[in-house]
């Protein structure tokens, strides 16, 4: 009877680290999907914000204003890892296009435990709209 308890303790000690790593990886996948969804939404919102505020609008905007708008809505993310690029093509006047591209350097939580095996990835999103 005592050996069975000892074997169970050894088996648990050997399997517990694997269970923790798998749990953290599932957590990271969830975080990654959250960031992907948020980045896609932010790109669309930034393009919409700029498209309704063209140069002919009473509330016209600039590339810096669109970047500030997008960064202000990036909740739950490290702003130091967020890059927002705004391009008015060819200008900010009606009929032109606005392109908002967002890149986010996503760091996996498990990379703190296994830095050589797991590194971060760049999650990107882009949205184009016609300026009204």
Tell me which residue range forms the domain holding 54. Answer: 2-130
The radius of gyration computed from the CA coordinates of the chain, to the nearest angstrom, equals: 23
Where do we find the tokens 């798998």?
22
State the DSSP string of 9-73.
HHHHHHHHHHHHHHHHHHHHHHHHHHHHHHHHHHHHHHHHHHHTS-TTSTT---HHHHHHHHHHT
Does the global pTM surpass 0.85? no
Residue 96 near residue 90, CB atoms below 8 Å:
yes
Q: Which residues of the chain have pLDDT under 70?
A: 1-5, 111-118
Torsion angle of alpha carbons 51, 45, 81, 62, nearest 10°? 20
Number of domains in the chain: 1
């Amino acid at each position: 009877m005592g050996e069975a308890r000892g074997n169970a303790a050894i088996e648990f000690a050997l399997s517990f680290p694997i269970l923790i790593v798998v749990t953290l990886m599932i957590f990271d996948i969830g975080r990654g999907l959250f960031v992907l969804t948020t980045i896609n939404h932010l790109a669309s919102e930034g393009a919409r914000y700029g498209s309704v505020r063209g140069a002919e609008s009473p509330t016209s905007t600039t590339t810096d204003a669109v970047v500030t708008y997008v960064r202000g809505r990036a909740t739950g993310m490290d702003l130091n890892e967020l890059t927002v690029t705004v391009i008015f093509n060819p200008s900010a006047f009606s009929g032109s296009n606005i392109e908002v591209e967002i890149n986010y350097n996503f760091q996996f939580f498990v990379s703190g435990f296994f830095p050589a095996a797991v590194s971060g990835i760049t999650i990107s999103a882009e949205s184009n709209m016609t300026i009204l």
